[in-house]
Homo-oligomer: A and B are copies of this chain.
């Protein structure tokens, strides 16, 4: 039985995720680099703002940070309770998950790489998807903690598998983004009404998460709100190509897309949403996707 749960990292995702935990568990500890935010969380949701060393005494410890490097930085400072399970929701590096799992195993602690999808709205509504890598028994024990925040929770393989699925998901999204940018630029050049074409494609075999969401809500309306930063997409596509290199596979479309996202990121303004990658294509023609 899980008595205590900790949440380390109260960013846009973590703040909303940790808010659900007090409904299900007796002791919920939160920690954030900027401790004001932890105190605010405690007063808003009934969690307890604690120091790092206390946080890692919980039965279940969640972390949700920008990169695997940041998680390593925390791991180096703490000694988690023996028998606890560390669940890292960062979009991290698969190889690093293996190292982290080995490192914690020596302290009698389990590690699950458990990145999430669903964005802030999914965090708010506790409808996130968890893609989890690691030990099956630890996964079963930790399941109730993840169920407090998510609606689809899958063990996809051993350590690193969760990070791998997230990286490939984001990589596929990047390919779909390029396909949409190229396809809709072509239609615009031929005088097609893009909104009517989009309606048709979203009812047809060529649809994707990008045509259903990013294209109408971010690109064709020219709003490009910052919800998932382009540098993070560039990072994730890099993780995907590293997985391909490690396995000595040929993945030409993914490889090309990674180059293009990298180029788009190099040309973008700071703090650009990933959807601004379409501007790379717009710079190559006098066509605006609207």
Contacts and interface: CB of A to CB of B under 8 A. Distances in A.
Interface string A140-180: 00000000000010111110110011001111110110111
A152 B169 CA distance: 30
B168 A243 contact: no
Interface residues of A, number: 83
A200 B117 contact: yes
A178 B255 CA distance: 12
Contacts of A238: 245, 248
B200 A169 contact: yes
Given A209-B205, A262-B250, A161 B190 contact: yes
A285 B250 contact: yes
A193 interface: yes
Contacts of A256: 252-253, 255-256
A150 B284 CA distance: 37
A266 B285 contact: yes
A109 B49 CA distance: 55
Interface string A177-195: 0111011111101111100
B249 A189 contact: yes
Interface of A: 94, 117-118, 129, 131, 152, 154-158, 160-161, 164-165, 168-173, 175-176, 178-180, 182-187, 189-193, 196-197, 199-201, 203-211, 213, 238, 240-260, 262-263, 266-267, 281, 283-285, 287
17 contacts: A154-B197, A160-B190, A164-B192, A165-B187, A169-B200, A169-B206, A170-B206, A171-B206, A182-B244, A182-B251, A183-B251, A186-B254, A205-B209, A207-B209, A249-B285, A250-B284, A262-B284
A129 B207 CA distance: 13
A260 B281 CA distance: 11
Contacts of A253: 175, 178-179, 182, 253, 256-257, 260
Q: Among A180, A250, A260, which residue has the most Cβ atoms of chain B within 10 A?
A: A250
A157 B281 CA distance: 23
A20 B10 CA distance: 57
A240 B206 CA distance: 13
